[in-house]
Structure 1
Amino acid sequence: MTPSQIDLVQSSFAKVVPIAETAASLFYGRLFEVAPEVKPLFRGDMKEQGRKLMTTLAVVVNGLKAPDTILPAAKALAVKHVGYGVTAEHYVPVGAALIWTLEQGLGDDFTPETRDAWLAAYTLLSGVMIEEAYPKAA
């Protein structure tokens, strides 16, 4: 990721933070729409799950300028998700749901450059996570 892309991800995420609960709800609604097979993987309180999602996103977004600080936690999270039944194939609809959610939440502020920056961030992070959790799939 370029420094400009990191700045775009961080500045756009700052606009999502005030609507975090709505964003999380949009995300999971979209995820379950595009990948209904993942819904059974979520057994707990979805509001709490949404808070966890937004907290994790905040940590990742804030750590993009120093990836060595976030990658160990991301790798550990990926391995933990294997135990919940997450597969490497699930990362594609998750990324699609994330981009869609950002588009909905940011509206006109979700420019093509911002979209590209988020895609770069998600591609980088999901690639590292998939490689850690499913070394043969990567």
Structure 2
Amino acid sequence: MALTPEQVQLVKDSYSLICKHSEPYSILFYHQLFLKHPFVRALFPDELAHQTSVFKQTIDVLVENIADLARMRPTLATLARQHVQYGVDTYQYAIVGAVLIDTFAEILESRFTSEARKAWEALYAETAAIMISESSTGH
């Protein structure tokens, strides 16, 4: 299900604000992820500087291509296969999505409207569906 033009704009606008935050959201995201779901810590290297950078770059590209997510399918397929190799289970996509969106809500506070949350949830659901599909088919 494609995002509406309004949702695309909400994601872009909110992401612009998120990226201006004093602390990189990717660092806050991993902190919250490990705090709320400590069992996933074992899936990551001890040193997270590279991981937080790559995670942010991935979200950057996703937001840049939000109006045409089909273009992202090959990249997401590769990413999905890597996640399988790392030991990621499909149910963990929901955990990551919830923590990511909650991290954005924490950063933006009242500026993260219910409409912005729904737009991010739609984007994440579509992205995760592609990745789960690719990881289960082994393409």
Preserved contact between residue 34 and residue 93 of structure 1 (Cα < 8 Å): no
Report whether the alignment pairs 1:45 with 2:47: yes
Q: Structure 1: which 5+ residue stretches go unaligned? A: none
Q: Residues of 2 paired with 1:20 and 1:73: CA distance? A: 29
> What is the Cα deviation at residue 60 of structure 1?
0.3
TM-score by length of 2: 0.91
Q: Which moved more, 1:42-51 or 1:103-112?
A: 42-51
Seen in structure 2, the aligned counterparts of structure 1 residues 20 and 73 have a Cα distance that, compared at 3 Å, is farther
Query: Would you say how many aligned residue pairs link Structure 1 and Structure 2?
Result: 136
Following TM superposition, the consecutive aligned residue runs of length 4 or more in structure 1 with deviations greater than 2 angstroms are 18-22
Give the CA RMSD over aligned residues: 1.6
SS of match in other structure, 1:43: coil
> What is the Cα deviation at residue 20 of structure 1?
7.5
Give deviations 1:10-38, integer Å, cap 9, x for gaps: 11111112238531121011111222111
Q: Residues of 2 paired with 1:127 and 1:66: CA distance? A: 15
Q: Which moved more, 1:123-132 or 1:20-29?
A: 20-29
For residue 33 of structure 1, what is the aligned residue in structure 2? 35
Q: Residues of 1 paired with 2:120 and 2:42: CA distance? A: 27
Seen in structure 2, the aligned counterparts of structure 1 residues 85 and 129 have a Cα distance that, compared at 3 Å, is same
Q: Residues of 2 paired with 1:87 and 1:74: CA distance? A: 16
> What is the Cα deviation at residue 108 of structure 1?
1.3
Which one of the candidate residues 121, 126, 129 is aligned to 2:128? Answer: 126
SS of match in other structure, 2:91: helix
Q: Which residue type is aligned with residue 50 of structure 2?
A: E
% identical aligned pairs:
35
Seen in structure 2, the aligned counterparts of structure 1 residues 5 and 19 have a Cα distance that, compared at 3 Å, is same
For residue 59 of structure 2, what is the aligned residue in structure 1? 57
TM-score by length of 1: 0.92
For residue 8 of structure 2, what is the aligned residue in structure 1? 6
- Within a 5 Å distance, the mapping from 1:80-91 to structure 2 comes to 80-91=82-93
SS of match in other structure, 1:113: helix
Seen in structure 2, the aligned counterparts of structure 1 residues 20 and 126 have a Cα distance that, compared at 3 Å, is farther
